[in-house]
Amino acid sequence: MAKYAYFLSRETSLGLYQPKPSRFLRTCSRTLNVIRKFADDRPAIILGIETSCDDTGCGIVDTTGKILGEAINSQHLTHLKHGGIIPTIASEMHRKHITTVCEDALRSANLRLKDIDAIAATIKPGLPLSLVVGNNFGKYLSRIGNKPYIPIHHMEAHALTVRMVQKVDFPYLVLLVSGGHSLLAIVENVDKFYLLGTTLDNAPGEILDKIARRLKLANIPEFSHMSGGQAIESAASKASDPTKFVFDPVLTRKRDCQFSFAGIANKSFRYVDKEEQNFDVADSTAIPDVYNFCAALQMSLTKHVCLRTQRAMEFINNANLISQEKRTLVISGGVACNNFLAKALEIVCSEKGFKFVRTPPRLCNDNGVMIAWNGAERWTANTGVLRDREEIEMVTVEKNASLGESWIERVEDANIKCKLVKLNSL
């Protein structure tokens, strides 16, 4: 119990602390849980914990998709001061806030731990020091409440979140774009994914944050409270000449669905260096043409994402992997909040016969609700729900974890020549 001491400050207030039951009682409880799953008419209630990066989130949902309660502690402003996420600081802040966040979520749902049917927590991929906090706390709640435990793959959770709020039938194409990931995959079912492409270097959200810092957008009052991606999108909307800066197309000779954003970042840094020299820009001041630059940058990134996504659609269409009436593109992840990118992808979908569905922006960023919902999907499908205590205690975190079965070579072998549809209406 010593290693969980920092979780014990207020457990009794909402029922987080319960005496350890005997082996006989635990066996009886497990049996009753199984019986209730099949005999009880009420939806199961899942508590989800998210600590893969820098936000501590807890969500409580039922298996019908109803959000019962949620809470989150954002570390954004703390890491903004450091110019990036510091893993040790992120981990310590998770430890400091996780009990309060879970209590707040239970309180907002008017529930206690005894009312929860299972605990779900992100265990991969992510920052190991952050993941460990959520995994340990999730297992701890599972143990003291004698609840099943559901380990969650962070990207699978992003891919499935939309099904909580909108009817999207399997299979469908998903595009995940965030600060840590970029990928295209076919979602076959709750735990079966076919990876069509992923990033070869940096994630889009990561390079947007780095470029925003290099542009010193945080020193402009109207952008000071925004993330890097938000600031660039907002600045781009004020552009007078989006064509003033030119970015070369990315990976034009590679007929696959792989992403690369490092070249866009390097080109951006060279542009900024040159502009600062030409205009003798002060250390704390943004370049004079920052709005036009952000617009050109955003367009370059958008075209790259759209072309890769269009090729994935053509791969699916050519092989008839999804029936015509079910062809759907779902986008999720923090960068999916970008409205300019969403509009461009909607144009591509219209041209290629896909329905466009965006995960609600408030659920695109990392949060506990998406983890709880992934647990609910797994509970309903009866897959990945751990009930054996020894098996639960053996669950460990993973820094890197791919999504499903790789079909990257299949896409390459298809050798699909693809010309991006016109985005003139943007």
Q: Are 368 and 58 in contact (CB under 8 A)?
A: yes
Out of 186-195, 245-254, 291-300, which region has the weakest mean confidence (pLDDT)? 245-254
Q: What are phi and psi of 337, to 5 degrees?
A: -70, -15
CB proximity list for 32: less than 8 A, separation 6 or greater: none
- Find the helix or strand (DSSP H, E) in which 379 lies: helix 368-381
Residue 183 has pLDDT above 80, yes or no: yes
Mean pLDDT of 400-407: 96
- Which pLDDT band, with edges at 50, 70 and 90, does 180 fall under? confident
Q: What is the pLDDT of residue 4?
A: 44
Structure-model confidence comparison of residues 233 and 90, the more confident one: 233
Give the model confidence (pLDDT) of 230-267 as tens digits: 999 999 999 999 999 999 999 988 999 999 999 999 99
| Domains of the chain, earliest start first | 45-160+365-394 (3.30.420.40), 172-364+405-414 (3.30.420.40)
| Local confidence band at 78 (pLDDT 50, 70, 90 cut-offs) | low
pLDDT at 28: 56
Mean pLDDT is lowest, of 2-6, 322-326, 402-406, for 2-6
The answer to whether 207 and 182 are in contact (CB under 8 A) is no
- 10 Å CB burial of residue 418 (0-12, 13-18, 19+) is middle
Share of the chain above pLDDT 90, in %: 82
Output the pTM of the full model.
0.89
Q: How many CA atoms lie within 13 A of 108 on its CB side?
A: 17
- In angstroms, the CA 85 to CA 138 distance is 23
Sign, Cα dihedral of 286, 287, 292, 298: negative
Angle between helices 228-236 and 204-215 (to 10 degrees): 70
Q: How confident is the model at residue 86 (pLDDT cuts 50, 70, 90)?
A: confident
Return the pLDDT at 32.
55
Q: Which whole-number Å values give the CA distances from 322 to 174, 257, 310, 411, in the listed order?
A: 13, 18, 15, 15
- Structural tokens at position 377: 């999907």
Q: How confident is the model at residue 17 (pLDDT cuts 50, 70, 90)?
A: very low
What mean pLDDT value characterizes the chain? Answer: 91
Q: Report pLDDT for 164.
A: 97
